[in-house]
A and B are shown apart, each in its own frame.
Chain A
């Protein structure tokens, strides 16, 4: 384990985080808020410590393999979350450290679950930082690091560990160029989102914060009733933009280089849109009698399906009044998630497709034991390795879910609350059913459960393996 190099990367990451803290500081100046000083209290020491770590641990030792990449990413995210929680904690905006950590992890992992009962009590700069963490966490802070600093071959292993999806699709030959292109697309899309929100009649501050939440598929709101406070047109826009950020960014790159035909042929995109469409139709059939008009039920169904499948977690009404069928549909959409290579969480459509296809294959093999069949995805044969990785991912995913449910059940809530709380944090959604639906929040849980949720959120965002690898004995055996 090349621990020196890992620490020097963490140092660079801390410096980047401290630089990012300048933005909420500027917000505090604009709104003349005294809370802004806490960002300098945290940001400056962070910059110094980060620089010192980078300086003293810089090494010429180039050994950097997948183990180092995984460890960098998992330690990086833990450090990022702890440091990001400090402004909330020391400003007494959220006095309890565990609560601030929960809130920050929920932000960086783009979950959007909150322990706050009334967000309007926070100052604007705190609200801004809270939403900004969604934007940073959406594409990943280490990918940002790769985009701005020149690194060598080691960066591939970091990219692999941080990017969501079963396989990292490089857009261009070099990792740093790929990271740069991804961030460019991301930033441009976010700016378009914010502008259109503003034009649709949202206040500027709200459109920026909701824009960050949409881009990172997070889900933090800045008003008491969340998205219910905005007009129908704005809500429709939010619904559409959430869907857009749930699409694999490679597709936008293909559009950018004018390969629109290739982009539209993507199997994952088609399945993703197909699932969205089917879910909306089924839910509308199920709930049309609950609303005054069919238009209203379509609007509600569309918004919530889009919000849940992209694991964003905005709500415009209380869907816990829906019939059970529709609520279970939402729960399934949480697990499914959006496309690989997007900012969304969940299992990802590509993994779902590959595992369903191989399950069907297995059935066929039972009938015709000697037959030879291959699975194809995006017109390419899925090799055994990828298939096995996907299958074991799904199994570990289920095991962690079950373990989470067991731990949270200690808190003694009803079954729906317990199960949906685990599924929503693990998939980085931010909204659950029953007590943690659009009207509820996570302040009802005890500290132990909150720590479990923090671990679940980080594990879910980093797609399980980095976190497990960090705590596995084998990773550290190969030392010196």
Chain B
């Protein structure tokens, strides 16, 4: 696939990096020569300097032969204009990054009239990811399949858990649970386990299950499950607005407290959400956080524009061991650096956007046997969790799973058929119309047939 990316800021370059690693041809367009030089000396792609909303620049970037155009400059208007021009010049599919809250209502009209195939809103997607993590507070990351009916969760094993030392084939029986462990992170290594693999102290595991089994599994390994009542959010950014919307929708009986330095933003927030307590203060100063009850809050989410502040505050909140903390970190380098620290969960809007685009580009690989519905990258992108919808017969369907010659490091985690989730065994088959959740390491899967060696 040939993909043009207009705007190579943090979102653009993260998307470019992830597409290049999946072997797509990428052409970057940006106004800034120095930015283009820096990014293209780091990523194997071509670069054009110029304003992407000008037709001649798009033609120089070979728009006529491109399959996709992704407009992700910081300006919504330029992105829309770029997509419109691209569509008028060529047959490529267009993706626009649109994040203004006020455009959200008319987005479908814009998309239809200007023939934009997809709009992405990294802030909204990040808010959704935070909400997913908050649903299971003990998880480090949380993703869903089959329209939310099936979860893949990453957790660290508590040091005194019963599960330590158990073989996976025995664990479900001994713990009276029904989950499938798909990947184990031990030190710097990632293991795709089999029935004989053992859980050790200090492991992080990725497992899949539906909601009830998640709750019982948490209890079994020594985590109590409780739903959260009080939330403290530092920084009133766009993500904050989206997050409050989502949290209010799930449960109206909650307590949200938002801190921000800027009085104007605070007033705006207070006028939009009367039930939220807004505090106009610098969260890093004095003991304002203790005064406002950081020790008693269930969840502590840092969403300021400064990564360092987010990380340090999350560490502070995590000290008492009871609070679930989530930090937004934009710089990928920081994410690698703080992996060993007890920050709680980390969300990275660029990563979220890149995953979305990756799954969209891969799904457009019209080989026809299946569609990618969801794609998540876990463990710094080393493991992928994908949801496929099977649309036609192939060599992967109608064969008993035990007879299917799977590639190494591919796990079929769950099958969704006629409204029910099936935990697959060797005697199950994949059928047309099913949705399938796949966990894989070191493979790029574009289609369900790619799981077969």
Contacts and interface: CB of A to CB of B under 8 A. Distances in A.
Contact of A170 (B20, B37, B46): B46
A155 B45 CA distance: 12
Interface stretch (B25-33, B238-246, B319-327): B25-33
B41 interface: yes
B285 interface: no
A392 to B, nearest CB: 17
Contact of A156 (B27, B33, B44, B49): B44
A380 B49 CA distance: 10
A383 B33 contact: yes
Contacts of A160: 41
Nearest to A159: B44
Contacts of A170: 46
**Most chain A C-beta atoms within 10 Å of own C-beta, residue among B2, B20, B41:** B41
B42 interface: yes
B46 A172 contact: yes
Contacts of A357: none
B43 interface: yes
Contacts of B45: 173-174
Nearest to B47: A170
A153 B43 contact: yes
Given A155-B44, A156-B44, A173 B25 contact: yes
Contacts of B27: 173
A175 interface: yes
Interface string A170-191: 1011110100000000000000
B33 A173 contact: no
Contacts of A55: none
Interface residues of A, number: 15
Interface in A277-335: none
Contacts of B2: 173
**Most chain B C-beta atoms within 10 Å of own C-beta, residue among A66, A153, A177:** A153
A158 to B, nearest CB: 12
A174 B25 contact: yes
Contacts of B46: 170, 172-173
A314 B153 CA distance: 71
A32 interface: no
B44 A174 contact: yes
A172 to B, nearest CB: 7
B25 A153 contact: no
Interface of B is mostly: mixed
Given A173-B25, A173-B26, A174-B25, A152 B33 contact: no
Contacts of B34: 383, 385
A174 B33 CA distance: 20
Interface in B1-54: 2, 20, 25-27, 33-34, 37, 41-46, 49
Interface string B175-188: 00000000000000
B25 A156 contact: no
B220 to A, nearest CB: 37
Nearest to A262: B60
B43 A172 contact: no
Contacts of B43: 153
A380 B48 CA distance: 11
A2 to B, nearest CB: 16
B64 to A, nearest CB: 11
Contacts of A385: 34, 37
Contacts of B49: 380
A13 B44 CA distance: 21
Interface string A360-391: 00000000000000000000100101000000
A174 B24 CA distance: 9
Interface in B293-326: none
A153 B33 contact: no
B26 A153 contact: no
Interface in B44-75: 44-46, 49
B27 to A, nearest CB: 6
A66 B46 CA distance: 18
A156 B26 contact: no
Contacts of B37: 385
Interface in B312-352: none
Contacts of A380: 49
A175 B34 CA distance: 20
A170 B48 CA distance: 11
Contacts of B25: 172-174, 177
**Most chain A C-beta atoms within 10 Å of own C-beta, residue among B2, B20, B41, B44:** B44
Interface in A141-159: 152-153, 155-156
A153 B25 CA distance: 13
Contacts of B42: 153
Interface in B393-415: none
Nearest to B43: A153
A170 B40 CA distance: 11
B33 A175 contact: no
A165 to B, nearest CB: 16
Nearest to B2: A173
Nearest to A160: B41
A66 B25 CA distance: 22
Contacts of A155: 44
A454 to B, nearest CB: 31
Contact of B41 (A152, A156, A172, A174): A156
A39 B43 CA distance: 40
Contacts of A66: 41
A253 B2 CA distance: 18
Nearest to B50: A380
A385 B34 CA distance: 9
Interface in A93-135: none
A174 B46 CA distance: 7
Interface string B84-124: 00000000000000000000000000000000000000000
Nearest to A175: B44
Contacts of A173: 2, 25-27, 44-46
A174 B20 CA distance: 9
A311 to B, nearest CB: 29
Contacts of B20: 153
Contacts of B44: 152-153, 155-156, 173-175
Nearest to B65: A257
A172 B65 CA distance: 12
A365 B271 CA distance: 58
B68 to A, nearest CB: 13
27 contacts: A66-B41, A152-B44, A153-B20, A153-B43, A153-B44, A156-B41, A156-B44, A160-B41, A170-B46, A172-B25, A173-B2, A173-B25, A173-B26, A173-B27, A173-B44, A173-B45, A173-B46, A174-B25, A174-B44, A174-B45, A175-B44, A177-B25, A380-B49, A383-B33, A383-B34, A385-B34, A385-B37
Top 7 nearest A-B pairs (CB, nearest first) are A173-B25, A173-B46, A153-B44, A170-B46, A173-B45, A383-B33, A175-B44
Given A385-B34, A385-B37, 13 more contacts: A153-B20, A153-B43, A153-B44, A156-B44, A172-B25, A172-B46, A173-B25, A173-B26, A173-B45, A173-B46, A175-B44, A177-B25, A383-B34
Interface of A: 66, 152-153, 155-156, 160, 170, 172-175, 177, 380, 383, 385
